[in-house]
Amino acid sequence: MTRILLAVGGLLLAARPALGQTDYRRAEQFLTWNALRHTYHDQVAPAWYPDSTRFWYRVNTRRGFAFVTVNPATGGKAVLFDNARLAAALSVAADTALDPRKLPFQSFAFDRDGRDERAIRVRIGKRGFRCELGGYRCAAADTLPNLTRYVRSPDDRWDAFVSGSNLWLRLVGGADSIKLTTDGAEGYGYGQGAPRAGQVRLKIPSRPEVVWSPDSKRLAVSRVDERKVGTVDLISMTSTRPVHYRFPYGLPGDSIVEMTEWYLADVGTKEVRRIDAPPQPLMSMYSFGGGKLQWSPSGDRVLFTHVNRGPKKVRLLAANPATGAVTELLADSSATYVIGSIDLFSFATNWKILKNGDLLWLAERDGFAHLYRHGADGAFKNQVTVGPWIVASLLGIDETLGRVYFTAKGREADRHPDYLALYSVNLDGTGLTLLSPEKANHQVAAVPSGKFFLDTYSTISEAPVSVIRGADGRVLSEVERADITDLLATGWRPGQVFTAKARDGITDIWGVIWKPSRFDSTQKYPVLDHIYPGPLISPAVKSFYPSRDPFTYPLSGQVQAVAELGFVVVSIDALGNTGRAKALYTAGWGNMGDNGIPDHLAAIKQLAVRMPQLDLDRVGIYGHSGGGFASTDALLRYPDFYKVAVSTAGNHDNRTYYSGWGERFQGLLVRDTIRKTDNFEAAANKTHAAALKGKLFLMHGDLDDNVHPAHTIALVDALIKANKSFDLLIVPDADHNMTQHPYVIRRTWDYFVRHLLGQEPPADYLIAPPAP
């Protein structure tokens, strides 16, 4: 291949006429699913046994994937079954040849709803099989029982489920069912809302939003009112007859959006009554409130959080199960929005009712997320944690010792401020203790039975180690230690953490920089900014990458693979990204069009001073979802800095996104009837379509039921009206998770290679998809 070298500022620009198949093949090996083939013992995702004292997990080893069981109390660890014998038995039953190193399932269910560990049920494709582990005999069976369709009572006697919009009960193992409600109707059903297009298409059932009382005598169930909510439509057009999907989807400014109510059902009397509290809006398009309700240990009260549209206020309410009458216990408010004492993605509650009735509550009253203790009547007792750092998750409480266990960020001065660490503290706020001393990001799960923690810790350059810790932080046993020897042999190198000053020149921000594995310090490289503007995700990864964690945002950018094509890629946690003080992560509230981009510009310019290899005349940007919105926004508002953008599934106008998002982060929609505008318009990308100067590539899946493709089409309409040139790809039958689509990845590569690297990509290079 001929090289033409041009001297620029003492560095060399390597100009080549084209990239070849070999160049793309080398980048392809760093796609996450390929890099993980060379990474072993790196993930422990626990699946808990019914007794909550043990767990099993699936792990990649040099001999293939293994299923391992662990007893945290003893440190005992064993392979769950013999892969070779199981593969042989399944091969006979399925009439096919199965490789024991690649068993064709990632999960399984123990027989008899998890109660019989002598046999398992697995699904291979659309077929179900039951395998006895004693003699390794397998036979075709019904498809896997759906473990999410019902909620079992604490005494293991009853299953609660939803059918025909109504709530039902049946005895475990029994055939007869009892209908508890009769007035459930389409759009106003118990336990779950209308399914999304993806749920219908992929036949994914919803787990009912049901919470049992500790004594199994009562249950609380949500009821979602969507009867008069506006709808959206999606059409699959790949079959002979197009298939139409329609579902409720409330938007900012709508007078009616999806609202949730709570009901209480008595198992003995079969009486169902509504809790006397106002309906509340959805906080997520995929959850209606089950994570926000708890029964008191004695079952004499049921407590739940309540937020308004906005939401600028959260209240903790207590209901009398016998009457449904409600009392307000405490409330918190904010000029921007409240966190609601929950995790906005997992919907795990960050508050807890103690046996004596006291309440442990997460709030941001001093500008940082901290735990507070209140009495059973809501009266304030004391602040449990305090300081310029934030509590991330409440893991558990040892009420005998009066000890609270939680994860937090930003307390330790000798490590990255966004690293999670495990702590304990007394309920009175004394005795704060760091339980995870390693200078790494700690992803911690509490063993449900208490007393132990599963802690997987790593950094971006240090591979994961998974251990069992005791309540004092001591490592009791090592579960797995990642082996990345083969990964290093491919030429892979980790990203590098950097710090810079934000737009104000004062506030520290952090990021990660990714270089080609054959980085040449004598050459200039174009820069790619992989962006997600927040507020709920920090795009600059903290743990080891590549990762099997589906929520690791760099998965959507495949940053190392992109860098390998000849770019330097950066991911930056700007103001407005989560994990910091409230004043920092709400910096963009009311101005979603900010997207943290001024901080990106500041950081990249500072990096270029330290790294003269960065060519600031060739800067591109790309992102997905909120990152798709931000990458287009960057090209429209800062065209003198960003020259090329690729935007996938962008929520380009938050007036078209679901109400719980825009109203939280932009504020309630306010219309100016005189000027015919509103407070969302300035942030919408289509408002600035006429400012487009660089190269823009828009992509969207036509079955995206999260960010509707109307976002991109409306932007396209504005660009056409402004007579602007751009590129567009609509991916048939693709949903919101389109970033792992090999064709989307290849087209992204081609676009940046052609328009930023200035070279011609190999024609129609075929990227192999992940193995099933």
Mean pLDDT of 503-526: 97
Q: Which residues 6+ apart lie within 8 Å of 609 measured at CB?
A: none
Q: Please tell me whether residues 28 and 91 are part of one structural domain.
A: no
Count how many domains the chain has: 4
Q: Evaluate if residue 15 carries a pLDDT over 90.
A: no
User: Which band of pLDDT confidence, cut at 50, 70 and 90, is reported for residue 539?
Assistant: confident
In a domain, 8, yes or no: no
Percentage of the chain exceeding pLDDT 70: 94
What is the per-residue pLDDT for 202? 81
Residue 276 DSSP code? S
Tokens encoding 691 = 């400012």
585: phi > 0 → left, psi -120 to 50 → alpha, else beta; which?
Answer: alpha
Longest pairwise C-alpha distance within the chain: 85
Q: Please tell me whether residues 584 and 666 are part of one structural domain.
A: yes
Q: Please tell me whether residues 406 and 541 are part of one structural domain.
A: no
Give the whole-angstrom CA distance, residue 375 versus residue 330. 10
What is the per-residue pLDDT for 6? 45
CATH number at residue 257: 2.140.10.30
What is the per-residue pLDDT for 174? 80
Give the whole-angstrom CA distance, residue 221 versus residue 192. 9
Tokens encoding 50 = 């019914």
What is the per-residue pLDDT for 342? 57
Q: Evaluate if residue 290 carries a pLDDT over 60.
A: no
Q: Which residue, 456, 481, 506, sits at the end of a domain?
A: 481
Give the whole-angstrom CA distance, residue 679 versus residue 676. 11
In a domain, 364, yes or no: no
Q: Which domain holds residue 225?
A: 150-349
Q: Please tell me whether residues 467 and 514 are part of one structural domain.
A: no
* Residue (of 468, 428, 371, 431) closest to 57 by Cα position: 468
Cα separations (Å) of 339 from 116, 257, 307, 391, 410?
41, 20, 10, 12, 18
Q: Which residue has the tokens 């709920």?
A: 536
Mean pLDDT of 76-87: 95
Mean pLDDT of 129-151: 79
In a domain, 771, yes or no: no
Q: Which residue, 349, 374, 400, sits at the end of a domain?
A: 349
What is the per-residue pLDDT for 139? 95
What is the per-residue pLDDT for 615? 98
Average pLDDT value over all residues in the chain: 92
Q: Where are the beta strands (DSSP E) in 574-640?
A: 614-624
What is the per-residue pLDDT for 145? 46
In a domain, 368, yes or no: no
CATH number at residue 668: 3.40.50.1820
Q: Please tell me whether residues 217 and 318 are part of one structural domain.
A: yes
Q: Please tell me whether residues 495 and 559 are part of one structural domain.
A: yes
Q: Which residue, 443, 462, 481, sits at the end of a domain?
A: 481
Give the whole-angstrom CA distance, residue 434 versus residue 452. 15
Rg (CA), the chain: 27
Give the whole-angstrom CA distance, residue 165 versus residue 174. 21
In a domain, 519, yes or no: yes
Lowest-pLDDT range of 52-56, 198-202, 253-257, 358-362: 198-202
What amino acid is encoded at 118 in this protein?
R
User: pLDDT, tens digit, for every residue of 162-208?
Assistant: 999 999 999 987 878 999 999 999 999 999 888 888 888 887 777 88
In a domain, 373, yes or no: no
Q: Please tell me whether residues 613 and 469 are part of one structural domain.
A: no
User: Which band of pLDDT confidence, cut at 50, 70 and 90, is reported for residue 100?
Assistant: very high
Pairing outcome for strands 218-225 and 231-236: unpaired
What is the per-residue pLDDT for 480? 98
Q: Which residue has the tokens 């336990």?
A: 191
Give the whole-angstrom CA distance, residue 480 versus residue 444. 14
Q: Please tell me whether residues 527 and 473 are part of one structural domain.
A: no
Q: Evaluate if residue 770 carries a pLDDT over 90.
A: no
CA 737 distance to own-chain centroid: 12
Q: Please tell me whether residues 574 and 675 are part of one structural domain.
A: yes
What is the per-residue pLDDT for 205? 76
Q: Please tell me whether residues 411 and 300 are part of one structural domain.
A: no
What is the per-residue pLDDT for 722? 99
What is the per-residue pLDDT for 243? 97
Identify the residue with better confidence: 514 or 293: 514
Lowest-pLDDT range of 136-150, 271-285, 479-493, 567-581: 136-150
Tokens encoding 111 = 């027989």
Q: Evaluate if residue 9 carries a pLDDT over 80.
A: no
3-state secondary structure of 41: coil
In a domain, 761, yes or no: no
160: phi > 0 → left, psi -120 to 50 → alpha, else beta; which?
Answer: beta
What is the per-residue pLDDT for 1? 39
Cα separations (Å) of 613 from 497, 514, 560?
17, 13, 18
What amino acid is encoded at 84 in this protein?
A
Query: For residue 123, how many other CB atoms are within 10 A of its CB?
Result: 16
What is the per-residue pLDDT for 579? 78
In a domain, 467, yes or no: yes
Q: Please tell me whether residues 345 and 422 are part of one structural domain.
A: no
CA 306 distance to own-chain centroid: 23
Q: Evaluate if residue 461 carries a pLDDT over 60.
A: yes
Q: Please tell me whether residues 201 and 175 are part of one structural domain.
A: yes
User: Which band of pLDDT confidence, cut at 50, 70 and 90, is reported for residue 51?
Assistant: confident
User: Which parts of 186-316 fold into alpha helices (H)?
Assistant: 197-202
